[in-house]
Amino acid sequence: MNTNPVMVRGLNFSYEEEGGTPALCGVDLTILSGTVTVLIGPSGCGKTTLCKCLCGIIPKLIHGVTNGEVFVFGREIANDESIAISSLSEQIGLVMQVPDHQIVMTAVEDDVAFGPENRMMPPPEVRDLVDHTLSEMDLTQKAEADPSALSGGEKQRLAIAGVLAMGPEIMVFDEPVSSLDSAGRDHFVQIVKALKEAGKTIIIVEHDFEVFDFADQWVLMKEGRIVCASAPREIPRELVESELWH
Amino acid sequence: MTKKSRLGALDPRPKLMLMASASTACILANDLIYIASVLCMLIATLLIGGMDVRLVLRRAKAIFVLIAMLFVIQTFFSGLPYPGGLLLAAMLSLRLLVVVLAGLILMEGEVRDYLLALVQMKMPYTLAFMVVVGLHFLPILREEAVNIYCCMQLRGKDFKNMKLTEKVRAYTGICLPILVGALRRADEMSVAMETRGFRSRPSRTYMRQLKMRGADIALTILWPAILVVLYEVECVF
Ligand SMILES: Nc1ncnc2c1ncn2[C@@H]1O[C@H](COP(=O)(O)OP(=O)(O)O)[C@@H](O)[C@H]1O
Ligand SMILES: [Mg+2]
């Protein structure tokens, strides 16, 4: 019955144990298989928090007060202690807003290989996959470099590469192009189109959302709530053009 | 990145073997000439290995000064009549030097290779990752310390003309944020590793594999062999 990639029901979350404004209030969201969803909203409205809920970092690693349900392929993850984040990673991948928080290895190619190795992919296959992903993200020249010596844009491309290499069914990108130049941004749009073509389910947080006019769903958020979620064409222009989102 | 020295290009395992055997031999041995000859061999290895001597001196300057101080203190305060104290002090200093230089040989090499070496030597991978992530952290922490130090100086803190108590307080002001930052980073790191499937399976694979080449095998066998032969020679004379 309900095997949508993502379904969120009445989700509330607040970082503080008591008092304070909640980061998410009564969020309901359904994401269909093979679709592209763009999360839009002013900074601090809870986009990153929602992304972390989708892949289980909240509430499994970041504690706070959580209410409601999050389903990934029909499996409730927010209240089930027995589901480990590392096992969820096979279904859902997250490119974090801050690449430094995500890069774990001491060489670029090793970092791309990290996910596939954890899933016990045979070494020759890992090698091919890594080479292919590096060239796709234009990092071949930097394969042996130390990630801490990369530029902001290169780190961001590495963070994307690390998740692409894992190839989960659902991919969440939290402001993935904020430090990329316009060519890099265009390239990312192409990657998203190709992923959609391949049947993946994509969720993107991005301020410059007009380039994702091909998305199946735009989700407008404000102060922890979803204001509107529907196809880009069906959202009233005056709502989209309100300065809140720009 | 600078070009790899000959030592840097070697497999990490012979280097670990060299470090372990040289240190053990010098700690067990009670003979000044033996320890001195091991030290000479070590220096020869460093030189043949193409290690940058100036870099070595700069990296380990503080340790060399410390060893020199220990030498002086031991010589004068051992309570032994001349030359007993001097001999004891020399032995201790040379031993320390051997350990430090062997450690420097280890530093010629990349963290990623040590991870593979530990795993291929059958260390459990979660433990190996902990060691290696820790090693990777050190330079980052050092960089942070330098940053904070510079920030404080830019804001008018004069570290040179300071009383001792003020100095202690200032350095606490540097170390505390670094410690907090390190804990936070370690936390972020473990989150990142989990979201990428670390420990989701009982075991994992490795894209690269280390292979021992001729020079690696030679070094692995040669060092312990020479240590033993030297010991035998010393015993004869
Ligand atoms: N680790 C945290 N601890 C406490 N509050 C946080 C934390 N992260 C985010 N917040 C708060 O939660 C709210 C939503 O933040 P976030 O989800 O990062 O917003 P966005 O990604 O939309 O900019 C903000 O008010 C922010 O201050
Ligand atoms: Mg954010």
The complex scores an ipTM of: 0.86
Burial label for B54, CB within 10 Å (0-12, 13-18, 19+), is: exposed
| Contact: B204, A118; criterion CB under 8 Å | yes
Q: Where residue B237 falls among pLDDT bands split at 50, 70, 90? A: low
pLDDT tens-digit readout, B145-193: 888 888 888 887 777 777 888 888 888 888 888 888 888 888 888 889 9
Q: How far is CA A40 from CA A43, A160, B71, in A?
A: 9, 20, 67
Atom of ligand 1 nearest to the CA of A45: 22
Residue A21 has pLDDT above 60, yes or no: yes
Distance of residue A85 Cα from the nearest chain B Cα, in angstroms? 6
What is the Cα–Cα distance from A89 to B198, expressed in whole angstroms? 9
Ligand nearest to the CA of A39: 1
Considering only CB atoms, which chain B residues are within 8 Å of A121?
Answer: 205
Whole-angstrom distance, CA of residue A237 vs CA of residue A215? 16
Q: What is each CA distance from A71 to A7, A172, B127, B194, in whole angstroms?
A: 5, 15, 33, 19
The per-residue pLDDT for A243 is 67
Identify the pLDDT of residue B1.
40
Whether A61 and B198 lie within 8 Å, measured CB to CB: no
- Most A CBs within 10 Å: which of B194, B198, B199, as the mutation test of the A interface? B194
Q: Among A127, A105, A102, which Cα is nearest to A116's?
A: A127
Q: Which of A13, A14, A15, A50 to mutate to test the pocket of ligand 1 (most atoms within 8 A of CB)?
A: A15
pTM for this entry:
0.87
Long-range CB contact pairs, B53-60, < 8 A, 24+: B56/B104, B59/B104, B59/B107, B60/B100, B60/B104
- Residue-wise pLDDT for B38-70, tens only, equals 999 999 988 888 888 888 888 788 888 999 998
Contact A221, A45 (CB under 8 A): yes
Contacts of B204 in chain A (CB under 8 A): 117-120
In this structure, are residues B196 and B129 in contact, taking their beta carbons and an 8 Å threshold? no
- pLDDT for residue A1: 47
Residue B2, pLDDT > 60, answer no
> Cβ of B208 and A148 within 8 Å?
no
Contact A96, A174 (CB under 8 A): yes
| Helical H segments across B49-110, by residue range | 53-59, 61-77, 84-107
At A4, list the tokens.
Answer: 């949508």
- pLDDT > 50? residue B4: yes
pLDDT of B206 > 60? The answer is yes
How many CB atoms within 10 Å of residue A225? 16
| Portion 180-219 of A in contact with B at CB < 8 A | none
Contact of A109 with A134, CB cutoff 8 Å: yes
d(CA A92, CA B196): 10
Cβ of B192 within 8 Å of Cβ of A102? The answer is: yes
Interface of B with A (CB under 8 A): 1, 110-112, 132-133, 136, 140, 188-201, 203-209
Please answer whether residues B75 and B56 qualify as being in contact, where contact means their C-beta atoms are separated by less than 8 angstroms.
no
Ligand 1 pocket test, pick from A16, A45, A58, A206 with the greatest ligand atom count within 8 Å of Cβ, gives A45
Q: What is the mean pLDDT of residues A166-182?
A: 94
Grade residue A41 by pLDDT with cuts at 50, 70 and 90: very high
Whether B219 and B18 have beta carbons less than 8 Å apart is answered as: yes
Cα distance between residue B10 and residue B114, in whole Å? 11
**pLDDT tens-digit readout, A129-160:** 999 999 999 999 999 999 989 999 999 999 99
Backbone angles phi, psi at A70, to 5 degrees: -130, 120
**Residues A107-145, buried b or exposed e (16+ Cβ, 10 A)?**
bbbbbbbbbbbbbebeeeebbebbeebbebbebeebeeb
Per the document, the length of chain A is 246
Mean predicted confidence (pLDDT) in A17-34: 91
d(CA A79, CA B57): 57
Max mean pLDDT range (A215-224, B69-78, B101-110): A215-224
pLDDT digits (tens, 9 = 90+) for A54-111: 999 998 888 889 999 999 999 999 998 899 898 899 999 999 999 988 999 999 999 9
Average confidence (pLDDT) over B80-92: 83
CA A17/CA B62 separation, integer angstroms: 48
Can you tell me the distance from the alpha carbon of B139 to that of B134, in angstroms, rounded to the nearest whole number?
10
Continuous segment of H or E residues that includes residue B156: none
